[in-house]
Structure 1
């Protein structure tokens, strides 16, 4: 596909412009976005990504448009899985919610830079050596196998402690124990120290590079057009920050996401190997001659990706609906709310309000103490009533013979 220079220039300007708009309009002033704000802007960025595909359809024809949509959906699905890891990292560092937007935007920018580098590297390798498709296919098949093994062993998405990279940075980079707003450095006792905000950004950046090792071979398995690869990757990253705040309470409910990604990456890995065999030039395979194997069309790839995503989401929603009957998800959600409240005084006040205005006197003066206590308990979340969570963050829950026992102030 012959892409004019003006198309490259306009696309790059558009992507950079969206990032600058995101920073100055939403991230520069630290705040926690509302659900409505996250939903609206997430929809806007998804709409822009889909609109770009329509532009490809009118300007280049149906085949490039199908390749773009297949790549966009694949990268978007991988980005949702990336969000889970971002959630784990941000939670492990205890980043206050109002400052999480800056961390996420930094992660998106670094992901775009690192993936652009891998895109150019991949294009150069493809030009020099067609056997690179064997390597790309093997990478995806190994990744799919690791995902499946991790899920079957129950080790997928376990919260890590401080990784080796972070421990090394702490050793060589003097770091403060507390955040100083969203600053990357602070001054303590006359010394200039890095803040945990800088460490979490470096941790996010390190994971971005690892994710690029999987995502770039995946999209090259769907198209080898450099412009389509770049556009699909860039637009899949746009809106990732808003999507984080929209689904940070829902992403853990996509319980079969790893299985879906396993199927998708495995399918694309097989497709890459078949393509490598079809264009084989390696002398030790079929005497250096192409192997006549069926090639998977772009339309088939798009239908498989859509089907896997649909089945994954439907199965996850069905499974979580069944779990909801046992109250497991509600208790987990309440635990997350109370953890956030421990880090944010504003959230603390909100939790108290949600908890039924703990400590208010009953409206009816003739109601006895027992009835008043029952009404107060009815106003508390299920996790508090069951003794799984304290009435206020900072309290301890001592196990006892019934419903978790008495609560004591820390």
Structure 2
């Protein structure tokens, strides 16, 4: 293979430059490479192809919109019909009243938006000293400026251009959050960023009562609770924005990935009506933030078609049953000598933690396991110390043995 011109994200290019894995076709939970070999997609690409691959409904909606109006900006007062329809629909599905939707192109961009929005909200409501943002260890919030500073995965923070006034607390201890707020001074804190289930940081479901307790703490101290549902939304946790099961009302919700099932890039921030109010007042100055493709009509058409699929096929309800089936299947790997923990049971997400001593002796072990699973016909997600799973919501019980057989074979090969 010739030397590639494509610089891959999160890749050791010295190894990848002449050994790319070329995917050419997808259908439901399956992918094919350029040699015609079929693979089970146990990660839904990067946590996002919730409706499955090859949905002609989405492709047809995109083609129809491109023929009518492919693109136009939404700065000042410009808008297109698909964007109006999509934001009305998302507002109606949102877990907070009078929700307003700010659109972006990707999760990292939406994190930037939410961070700036939180600080600006307090500036507009007379509390300019509230600038501190709090995140958690193991958290992943993208790789833009704010996202890199909020990152709780140490390798993702190397050589970072850190944003000031960002601090971290332990991921699983709500009382650590309150202690940090009191240490800093709650009157200085703008927002707390929280994934309902930590994704890239290891697939870490929250301890029982954690999400509810941090909601109480944020409300007590006037801190905005920002729920990062980039991975957890649009069915991944069995509801639209990944928080219904916890019974809370967030102040801001970040979404991406599953809103289009990854068919086109779309993300956004859902703002509680109370948070949006100072921006929507008559005579309020502009929120000087946004991107060319915020509110792209063709992307909005893809999202609308995807929402129709998720609703029409009952995929959110299906996820409720699938989460237990996936977790039970992964638990069959818990007895393997290389496995120290199996995580899951909260949403259609799971992870197999790899023995730390073996990882210390062989830092490339997780990557090697993912390649070994691929050789056995299943695509999985290598993370820092674990293998992650997040199949499409069209995944069926018949696929579970395919997944676990391949993963056990990969583990056996590495012993």
TM-score with structure 2 setting the length: 0.23
Structure with the higher fraction of residues in strand conformation: 2
The structure with the largest alpha-carbon Rg is 1
Task: Name whichever structure is richer in helix by fraction.
Answer: 1
